[in-house]
Structure formats: structure tokens, C-alpha cells
Amino acid sequence: MRLRQGQFSFLPDLSDDDIRVQAQYAIDHGWAVSVEYSDDPHPRNTYWEMWGHPMFDNPDAAAVVFEVNECRKEHGGKYIRVIAFDSTPGWESIRMSFIVNRPATEPGFRLVRQEAAGRVVRYTIESYATREPEGLRY
């Protein structure tokens, strides 16, 4: 399967130049761009590991591409995403998020069903990869 999180997961994988162009869009809007990585792609795993702080005062998206590549050197077998934070009043949240690196294979998710009373089913989604301990996945 292909993890469909992020705003461009239905497009072909982004090139470094694509990443630069999209990161520059964020920077030009005054948003702080950040790089994060994870080996736990569960849709409700909110907190991926931070590859350093959000780049608050960086005017040039080339620096984002540089950090993505540095992160790839260490975590190239994991998911890496670029996100952009907007501190504008009334937002103060993420405005962009897109995946820039994927594991070589994506085994996907198992849907666990627990039959409960009244035909109700309790659902749990588990990433096949997270059966292994952190660091040994993918």
C-alpha cells in the first residue's frame, strides 16, 4: 500500500526541486517549515520525531531541502514529512504537510475487529511495521 497522508500523496514522489518550491511557498507566507520523521505511520500518530526545530527565520527553501537530505542520511528507511507552522492569530497551527520520503516497502495496516454486543464492532488499526520495536521497523 501507499500511505496517503499529507497533501501530495496521490502525486508521484516529489523531487528535491518540488520540495524546494513547496517549502518556498510556505516561507513566502511567513510560515516556519519543519522536518519530521517516523517509523509509526498510524493515522493518529500525531507526534513524529522532530528533525530539529521549525526553521523560524529561514528565508530560503534550499535550507529545507538540505535538512531533508541530512535527515534521509540517518532515517532514509522511514517516513519523512515537511510541515509548515502558521503563527497567525486564529490559526496557530499547521498549514501544510507533505511526505518527502518513504520506506522501500510499505506493508500497510491491519484492521482488528472485536465483536461486541448488538452487532457493534470495535475497530483498531495497527501498522504491520510497528509490531517490531522502534528502530527495527522497515
Which residues of this chain interact with another protein, rule CB under 8 A?
Answer: 1, 3-5, 7-12, 18, 21-22, 25, 41-44, 46, 83-84, 89-98, 108-111, 119-121, 123, 125, 127
Min dist CB 31 to another protein, Å, is 10
Beta strands at 49-50 and 109-115: parallel, antiparallel or unpaired: unpaired
Question: Closest Cα to residue 65, out of 14, 123, 124, 129?
Answer: 14
How many other C-beta atoms are found inside a 10 Å radius of the C-beta of residue 42?
14
Residue 12 or 73: the one with the smaller Cβ distance to another protein is 12
How many other C-beta atoms are found inside a 10 Å radius of the C-beta of residue 102?
18
Min dist CB 75 to another protein, Å, is 18
Min dist CB 71 to another protein, Å, is 20
